[in-house]
Amino acid sequence: MEMYRSRTDALTTAVGDGRPIVFAHGTLMDRTMFAPQLEALRDEYRAVAYDLRARTDRYAPAYDLWDLADDCAAVLDGIGEDSAVIAGMSMGGFMALRFALEYPDRVDGLVLIDSMATPHTPDERAVYGDLVEPLAGSLDPTPRELADGVTDFLFGETTREEHPELVATWVDRWATYPGAAVYHELHSWLDRTDVTDRLSEIDVPVLIVHGAEDPSIDPSRAEPMLEELPDAEMELIPGAGHTANLEGPDETNDTIRTFLDERF
């Protein structure tokens, strides 16, 4: 965690001035996935995206979402902010919910992108666990066939058909990751507990953004959070899958910008 205080220049991209919003990426992604959001917000907000452990030299040890929440707190320390709006995509959203529970005084609001409060089903955990099991302990790059194979989890049908170049760019990147990094990244959330019964504690404005074509977490699995969170709203991004902010950047940017402008 110390590196997030001492090396934030190597782990973060920060633009603009104003109220801070900090972006945390999902599994297999990195901070560059939020480039459209940083560009859209930089005129009035301090927008910051950072690399979680699996994209750094801290990937090797086992860790969980609560450890990642501690890292997020260290990022805030490193950028000199007492609190921020925390925006998390998928795994980043799982972390953001726990960050809000562990550090309530440091959260101004949440943006949850293609995420949910409930755990994955036993069948899903078995599928994901089997998928990365060959990567355990490997420092070799992630096999290309595995990188190609997970595109159906990360991108919606429209994106795969109409924007194959976006998919190909990320496949190329995934195939450079050390296998162990991907293994530990996935296992940081695979067996997480359900936090639904604690959502009432998160008494800040929450925006739920979800791809209408999300193949990994159907929008219906995010909707129950609207009933449990004290102050939440939800927007679907048409034609977008699990990486809604990349697949539908204009709609996502408009949604986040409206939320920030109206609530903060």
pLDDT tens sequence across 237-248: 999 999 999 999
Q: Domain spans of the chain?
A: 1-119+191-263
Tell me which long-range contacts 3-8 makes (C-beta under 8 A, separation of at least 24): 3/56, 3/58, 4/50, 4/71, 4/74, 4/75, 4/77, 4/78, 5/74, 5/77, 5/78, 6/78, 8/50, 8/75, 8/78, 8/79
Structurally, at CATH architecture level, domain 1-119+191-263 sits in 3-Layer(aba) Sandwich (3.40)
Q: Which residues pair with 15 in a beta bridge?
A: 47
Structure tokens given for 191 = 């067996």
* Residue 141 confidence class, pLDDT cut points 50, 70, 90: very high
pLDDT tens sequence across 45-78: 999 999 999 998 766 678 999 999 999 999 999 9
Task: Report the pLDDT value the prediction gives residue 62, as an integer from 0 to 100.
Answer: 85
Answer yes or no: is pLDDT of 201 > 60: yes
Answer yes or no: is pLDDT of 5 > 80: no
pTM: 0.96
Task: Report the pLDDT value the prediction gives residue 57, as an integer from 0 to 100.
Answer: 73
Q: Percent of the chain, pLDDT > 70? A: 95
Answer yes or no: is pLDDT of 37 > 70: yes
pLDDT tens sequence across 177-195: 999 999 999 999 999 999 9
Task: Report the pLDDT value the prediction gives residue 104, as an integer from 0 to 100.
Answer: 98
